[in-house]
Amino acid sequence: MTELDNPMIKDGVLCENHWQLVPKGHPELPGAANIIVPALLALEHQERIAQRNDIAVWLDSDEPPELIADQLPQYCFIAINFPVFSDGRGYSYARTLRQRFQYCGEVRAIGDVLLEQLFYLHRCGFSAFELREDQNIEEALLRFNDFSEAYQSGGDQLQSVLSKRLQQSN
């Protein structure tokens, strides 16, 4: 069992999570360091955030990346909330950040994140993962290798089976 107080996975490594999530409905931008603020709160306080280097933003499943696209460089990273594991909009949001907006920073999955999702979340462009509390974080590290082949292209640069077949035939 891990000895970390608040474990997460970042870039395939188990590490301590030093960031605090500010809940929706918070009236003001907290003065604390290393905070992840809701997108609408971040938009209300763009000027103050631009003066700091310790704020990340989180998108809920009904808040597409276009909402914060103009401010991406201001944030330490982007977190995408999965209110329930069956809400798949976050997968599309990660792909949009990576492909359309060319975002190269950390994209973190938060909320109802399960072991079974990790391989697919990584393929879509997520690089950090805060798992639901009942999930085994050590087992999670093994889940990134659930499949050796991918049938579709992805944000993880894993070559699809079709691409491999086309290369072999040429």
Mean per-residue pLDDT, 66-83: 96
- Residue 88: name the closest of 56, 111, 71, 58 by CA: 111
Percentage above 70 pLDDT, the chain: 85
**Phi, psi dihedrals of residue 126, rounded to the nearest 5°:** -70, 140
pLDDT band for position 81 (50/70/90)? very high
In angstroms, the Cα distances linking 127 to 36, 52, 80, 165 are: 16, 23, 11, 28
Give the model's pLDDT for residue 24.
92
Mean per-residue pLDDT, 72-100: 94
- Residue 138: name the closest of 11, 24, 15 by CA: 15
Q: What is the pTM of this model?
A: 0.86
Average pLDDT over the chain reads: 87
* Residue 169 scores a pLDDT above 80: no
Classify domain 7-169 by CATH architecture: Alpha-Beta Barrel (3.20)
- Give the DSSP letter string of 8-26: EEETTEEEE---EEPPTT-
Mean per-residue pLDDT, 117-125: 91
* Residue 62 scores a pLDDT above 90: yes
Give the model's pLDDT for residue 160.
55
pLDDT band for position 159 (50/70/90)? low
Which residue ranges make up each domain of the chain?
A: 7-169
